[in-house]
């Protein structure tokens, strides 16, 4: 169905995944507004912010380079990938989509041919057409970046702190943990009180107490600086031994498919998301 115009495509996909009709003329719920965002909010800035390499310049300008993870290399082609110039352990990511990550803990064990074939496949796939026609990804140049492998003591994978920013203000966060083994998440308010809603299965909802990171307030402040001119963006950080590390920015969490439960929170959170006006005489916001 990717051959369909974006406006038509998102309506079909939204109904297929949520079993709800999409009203682009008067969106009310959060995920409806995410679909509107895809179709009508086309600022070039978004393309730079979802590009995992280009966003680094924005982070440096807004909050400083000290929050960036160390980057070892950038490759335009899979064939350029060069183990000889890399440390023994690292992580490889594609700049143009999600779930394109490869963790390497011992480069001597890598099958070079298989790895390069994997990278070639990544670079041939468009995130825009692969999922819900998320506009921000449409014009990204596919590349590979290699970064320092971050690890958190006592955790099988990093705790991922994701801050939901509406018109430059963090309203709540979600915390993802145990990604490598049994991915779970939960939502917290600005004071780190667990919130009574979720947008995944009950099995994936984490209900045990999580210790509040000492950097939580600072991560909120940094998120708001990065989000200051945007109607909505989710800003992700890691907090490792008191050090804050920028993760990514995204405009379409879950592709706008994951409904909140209890049901009333779809509108409550949708009300936080104030959509900008399309200029008179224009069809989109650029």
Q: What is the pLDDT of residue 3?
A: 77
Place of tokens 């989109």: 284
- The count of domains in the chain is 1
The answer to whether the pTM exceeds 0.75 is yes
Query: What is the arrangement of strands in the sheet containing 71-75, beginning at the earlier edge strand?
Result: 71-75, 144-147, 90-94, 101-104
Whether 45 maps to a domain, the answer reads: no
Whether 106 maps to a domain, the answer reads: yes
Whether 49 maps to a domain, the answer reads: no
Whether 38 maps to a domain, the answer reads: no
Q: What is the pLDDT of residue 127?
A: 84
State the number of CA atoms in the 13 A half-sphere of 175 facing the CB: 26
Q: Can you tell me the distance from the alpha carbon of 104 to that of 116, in angstroms, rounded to the nearest whole number?
A: 13
DSSP class of 85: G
Q: What is the pLDDT of residue 208?
A: 66
Q: What is the pLDDT of residue 98?
A: 84
Q: Which two tokens stand for residue 245?
A: 């590390």
Q: What is the pLDDT of residue 223?
A: 98
Q: Can you tell me the distance from the alpha carbon of 137 to that of 205, in angstroms, rounded to the nearest whole number?
A: 29
Domain that holds residue 144: 69-151
Q: Can you tell me the distance from the alpha carbon of 224 to that of 1, in angstroms, rounded to the nearest whole number?
A: 37
Q: How far is the CA of 34 from the CAs of 22, 61, 68, 146, 183, in angstroms?
A: 11, 27, 27, 30, 24
String of DSSP letters for 96-133:
TSSS-EEEES-GGG--HHHHHHHHHHHHH--HHHHTT-
Q: What is the pLDDT of residue 206?
A: 65
Q: Can you tell me the distance from the alpha carbon of 105 to that of 246, in angstroms, rounded to the nearest whole number?
A: 21
DSSP class of 269: H
CA-nearest of 77, 83, 125 to 100 is: 125
Whether 249 maps to a domain, the answer reads: no
Tens digit of pLDDT at every position of the chain (286 positions): 777 889 999 999 999 999 999 999 999 999 999 999 999 999 999 999 999 999 999 999 999 999 999 999 999 999 999 999 999 999 999 999 888 999 999 999 999 999 999 999 999 988 888 888 999 999 999 999 999 999 877 666 788 999 999 999 999 999 987 655 666 789 999 999 999 998 876 666 666 678 899 999 999 999 999 999 999 999 999 999 999 999 999 999 999 999 999 999 999 999 999 999 999 999 999 9
Cβ atoms of 273 and 171 within 8 Å: the answer is: no
Whether 117 maps to a domain, the answer reads: yes
CA-nearest of 49, 6, 67, 42 to 278 is: 42
Whether 73 maps to a domain, the answer reads: yes
Q: What is the pLDDT of residue 205?
A: 66
Whether 100 maps to a domain, the answer reads: yes
Q: Which two tokens stand for residue 97?
A: 């989509």
CATH number at residue 77: 3.30.1490
Instruction: Kindly report whether the peptide bond that precedes residue 51 is cis, defined as omega within 30 degrees of 0.
Output: no
Q: If phi over 0 gives left and psi between -120 and 50 gives alpha, with beta otherwise, what is residue 100?
A: beta
């Amino acid at each position: 169905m990717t051959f369909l115009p974006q406006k038509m495509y998102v309506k079909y996909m939204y109904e297929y995944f949520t079993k709800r009709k999409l009203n682009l003329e008067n969106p009310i719920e959060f995920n409806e507004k995410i679909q509107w965002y895809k179709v009508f909010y086309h600022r070039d800035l978004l393309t730079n912010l979802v590009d995992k390499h280009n966003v680094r310049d924005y982070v440096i300008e807004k909050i400083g380079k000290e929050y960036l993870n160390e980057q070892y290399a950038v490759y335009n082609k899979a064939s350029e990938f060069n183990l000889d110039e890399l440390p023994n352990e690292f992580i490889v990511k594609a700049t143009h989509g999600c779930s394109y990550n490869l963790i390497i803990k011992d480069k001597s064990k890598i099958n070079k041919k298989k790895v390069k074939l994997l990278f070639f496949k990544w670079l041939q796939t468009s995130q825009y057409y692969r999922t819900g026609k998320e506009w921000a990804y449409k014009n990204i140049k596919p590349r590979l970046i290699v970064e320092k492998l971050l690890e958190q003591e006592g955790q099988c994978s990093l705790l991922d702190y994701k801050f939901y920013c509406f018109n430059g203000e963090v309203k709540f966060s979600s915390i993802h943990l145990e990604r490598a083994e049994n991915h779970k998440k939960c939502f917290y308010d600005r004071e780190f009180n667990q919130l009574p809603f979720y947008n995944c299965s009950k099995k994936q909802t984490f209900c045990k107490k999580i210790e509040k990171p000492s950097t939580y307030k600072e991560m909120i402040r940094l998120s708001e600086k990065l989000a200051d001119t945007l109607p909505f963006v989710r800003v992700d950080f890691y907090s490792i031994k008191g050090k804050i590390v920028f993760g990514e920015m995204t405009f379409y969490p879950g592709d706008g498919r994951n409904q909140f439960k209890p049901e009333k929170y779809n509108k409550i959170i949708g009300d936080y998301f104030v959509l900008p006006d399309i200029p008179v005489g224009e069809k989109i916001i650029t």
